Amino acid sequence: MQRNTSVSQELFDAAIAVRKRAYVPYSGFRVGAALRASDGQVFVGCNVENVAYPEGCCAEAGAISSMVAGGQLNISEIVVVADSDPVVSPCGGCRQKLAEFGGPDMIIYLADLSGVQAKWRLADILPATFGKEHLRSGE
């Protein structure tokens, strides 16, 4: 993990803006995510809670769903923003979702409200990834 790294202002601002729209009546913990698809488009997502906690949706998953709905399938970078010290990182499920659409060198920026505080490669936070290559087609 690297500290005090930078991400484009556009991506950071998009994550900050969507974070404000998070639906968090139970925890009050707002998270925003903005990703850049390989074609340069930016897609955003925020966490959405549900009274049945396992049925909520993480910000990263929302951004990925938005990207897929927009016709893109490859992530080049993502920023995740929360008002937290230390900064939050994607949960295990979101790490696997990121692996589905990003390669091992995809960059994940972790930020608080003041800016990016950490930068990781996907391979560093999800080593030995389970991927499509593990599945056998036709069996």
Q: Which residue out of 10, 55, 60, 139 is catalytically annotated?
A: 60
Asked if the model's pLDDT at residue 5 lies above 60, the reply is no
Band (53; pLDDT cuts 50, 70, 90): confident
pLDDT at 3: 44
Domain assignment present for residue 111? The answer is: yes
Separation of alpha carbons 123 and 65, rounded Å: 22
CATH code, domain carrying 83: 3.40.140.10
pLDDT at 4: 43
Q: Which structural domain, as residue segments, surrounds residue 8?
A: 2-134
Structure tokens at 65: 């769903």
Active site residue 60: yes
Q: Are 51 and 57 in contact (CB under 8 A)?
A: no
Domain assignment present for residue 139? The answer is: no
Neighbours of 95 (CB within 10 A): 16
What is the number of domains present in the chain? Answer: 1
DSSP classification of residue 52: S
Asked if the model's pLDDT at residue 88 lies above 80, the reply is yes
Domain assignment present for residue 124? The answer is: yes
> Mean pLDDT, to the nearest integer, of 40-53?
96
Q: To the nearest whole number, what is the mean pLDDT of the chain?
A: 92
pLDDT at 134: 80
Q: How does pLDDT run across 118-130, given as a tens digit for each residue?
A: 999 999 999 888 8
Q: Are 60 and 110 in contact (CB under 8 A)?
A: no
Q: Nearest-CA neighbor of 120 among 131, 139, 137, 104?
A: 104
